[in-house]
C-alpha cells in the first residue's frame, strides 16, 4: 500500500494528506476506473468496460489510493475484495456517475421531463398493500414517472435505487430514514385449522400444527418463530415446516391449505376482517422489525422525490392500504 503520508500530486500541485479535498482536485478518471473495477471486481473486466488498458486502470486506482491515503482493494489469490474504505466509496461513486449519465442523456434526448424515480418495495408489501396506493399516486401526479423494483432482502436493496421501503430492524446509516410502521405479529391460520384444535392450550395448538416460515436473507429459516417462542416463553420446535420467501406466499398457503403463519396483523388486516384468516389466540408481539422509507439525503432537493417521499409517509404510514381499525377476528373458545 502507498503510505498515507505520501502527498498526492494533481498537475503541478501537491495535495498534502491533511488538506481537505475539494472539487478542483477530484480525479474523475481515477474515480471512473475505481467504479468500473469495483463493479466487476476485476481490473481486467473493468479495463474492458472502459476500453482502456489494464495497466492504466491500475495506475488510476493507485493514484486514487494515494489521494485517499487508504487502500481500496485487497488483492489476494482468490481475487479482489473491497476494503472498508472501498466499501464506503464505491456506492457513492456509482450513484453519482449514474445520475450524471442519466441527466446528460435526458438533456441530449431533449426529454426535459423528470427522469423516472427508482422505488424499491419489498414483494409482500408491494402485492398486499402498495399497488393500489401507487395507482392512486400515479393518478394524482401523472407527470412523475416511477420505476418500481422489488427484491426479497432484509434492509437496503442491492440495486441502485432513489428511494426504498425496507423491512429491517432500527439502524443508523447515511440515508434519511422515515418509520412507516413497526410490525406486530401473531400466529394466524384459516378458520378450518383453528376449528380443528378448539380447546387446546396455546402451546399445544402450535405444537400440533405445522409452522409456516418466512425466510429472511442471511438468517436461519426459523428465526422469526424462534424469536417469537422465546418472547412468549413457549417450548416448541421452531425449525420444522414449510418455508417461503415472502409473507404473502406463506399467508396464501395458510388460507388455502393448512398450517400456522406468524404474520403482520396490520399488513393482513383485510384477510382477518374478511374471515379468511383468524387469530386463535390473542398473543400479539412486536418482533423488532419495521418498515422504513430510506432516501438519500442529497436527493431531497429533487422536487419529485420530495413530493413522493411526503406522499408515501402520509399515505403508507397512515394505513398502507389496510384498514387500521378493522376488527381482529378471533375464535372465542381459544382466547389465551
Beta-strand relationship, 211-214 and 260-264? parallel
- The one-digit pLDDT tens for each residue of the chain (336 residues) are 444 444 555 554 455 555 677 777 788 999 999 999 999 999 999 999 999 999 999 999 999 999 888 999 998 888 899 999 999 999 889 888 887 877 777 666 655 455 789 999 999 999 988 999 899 999 998 888 899 999 888 887 877 888 999 998 888 777 888 999 899 999 999 999 999 999 999 999 999 999 999 988 878 888 899 999 999 999 888 888 899 999 999 999 999 988 999 999 999 999 999 999 999 999 999 888 899 999 988 888 788 888 899 999 988 765 544 443 443 444 434 434
Q: How many CA atoms lie within 13 A of 282 on its CB side?
A: 9
**How crowded is residue 214: how many other Cβ atoms within 10 Å of its Cβ?**
24
Give domain 115-336's CATH architecture: 3-Layer(aba) Sandwich (3.40)
Topology, domain 8-108: Arc Repressor Mutant, subunit A (1.10.10)
Query: Over the Cα atoms of the chain, what is R_g?
Result: 25
Strand partners, 176: 295
Q: Does the pTM exceed 0.85? A: no
> Residues near 162 by Cβ (< 8 Å), separated by ≥ 6?
117, 118, 119, 295, 296, 299, 305
Backbone phi and psi for residue 311, each to the nearest 5 degrees, phi listed first: -70, -45
CA distance 102 to 18: 34
331: left (phi over 0), alpha (psi -120 to 50) or beta: beta
CA distance 336 to 332: 9
Q: Domain limits of the chain?
A: 8-108, 115-336
Q: How far apart are the first and last CA of the chain?
A: 64
3-state secondary structure of 163: strand
> Residues near 213 by Cβ (< 8 Å), separated by ≥ 6?
221, 222, 224, 225, 241, 242, 243, 244, 250
- Enclosing H/E stretch for 249: helix 247-256
Amino acid at each position: 500500500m502507498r503510505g498515507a503520508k505520501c502527498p498526492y500530486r494533481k498537475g503541478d500541485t501537491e495535495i498534502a494528506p491533511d488538506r481537505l479535498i475539494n472539487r478542483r482536485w477530484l480525479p474523475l478518471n481515477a474515480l471512473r476506473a475505481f467504479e468500473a473495477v469495483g463493479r466487476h471486481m476485476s481490473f481486467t473486466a473493468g479495463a474492458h468496460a472502459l476500453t482502456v488498458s489494464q495497466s492504466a486502470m491500475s495506475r488510476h486506482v493507485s493514484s486514487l489510493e494515494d489521494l485517499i491515503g487508504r487502500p481500496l482493494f485487497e488483492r489476494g489469490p482468490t481475487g479482489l475484495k473491497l476494503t472498508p474504505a472501498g466499501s464506503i466509496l464505491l456506492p457513492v461513486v456509482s450513484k453519482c456517475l449514474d445520475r450524471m449519465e442519466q441527466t446528460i442523456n435526458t438533456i441530449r434526448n431533449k426529454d426535459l421531463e423528470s427522469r423516472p424515480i427508482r422505488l424499491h418495495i419489498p414483494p409482500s408489501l408491494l402485492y398486499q398493500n402498495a399497488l393500489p396506493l401507487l395507482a392512486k399516486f400515479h393518478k394524482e401526479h401523472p407527470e412523475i414517472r416511477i420505476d418500481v423494483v422489488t427484491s426479497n432482502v432484509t434492509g437496503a436493496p442491492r440495486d441502485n435505487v432513489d428511494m426504498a421501503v425496507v423491512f429491517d430492524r432500527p439502524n443508523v446509516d447515511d440515508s434519511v430514514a422515515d418509520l412507516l410502521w413497526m410490525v406486530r405479529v401473531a400466529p394466524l391460520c384459516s378458520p378450518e385449522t383453528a376449528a380443528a384444535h378448539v380447546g387446546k392450550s396455546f402451546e399445544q395448538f402450535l405444537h400440533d400444527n405445522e409452522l409456516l416460515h418466512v425466510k429472511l436473507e442471511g438468517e436461519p429459516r426459523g428465526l422469526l418463530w424462534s424469536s417469537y417462542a422465546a418472547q412468549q416463553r413457549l417450548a416448541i420446535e421452531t425449525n420444522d415446516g414449510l418455508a417461503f420467501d415472502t409473507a404473502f406466499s406463506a399467508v396464501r398457503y395458510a388460507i388455502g391449505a393448512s398450517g400456522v403463519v406468524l404474520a403482520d396483523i396490520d399488513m393482513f388486516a383485510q384477510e382477518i376482517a374478511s374471515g379468511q384468516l383468524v387469530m386463535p389466540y390473542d398473543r400479539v408481539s412486536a418482533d423488532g422489525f419495521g418498515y422504513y422509507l430510506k432516501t438519500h439525503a442529497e436527493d431531497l432537493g429533487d422536487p419529485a422525490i420530495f413530493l413522493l417521499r411526503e406522499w408515501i409517509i402520509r399515505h403508507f404510514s397512515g394505513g398502507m392500504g389496510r384498514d387500521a381499525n378493522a376488527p381482529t377476528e378471533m375464535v372465542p373458545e381459544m382466547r389465551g
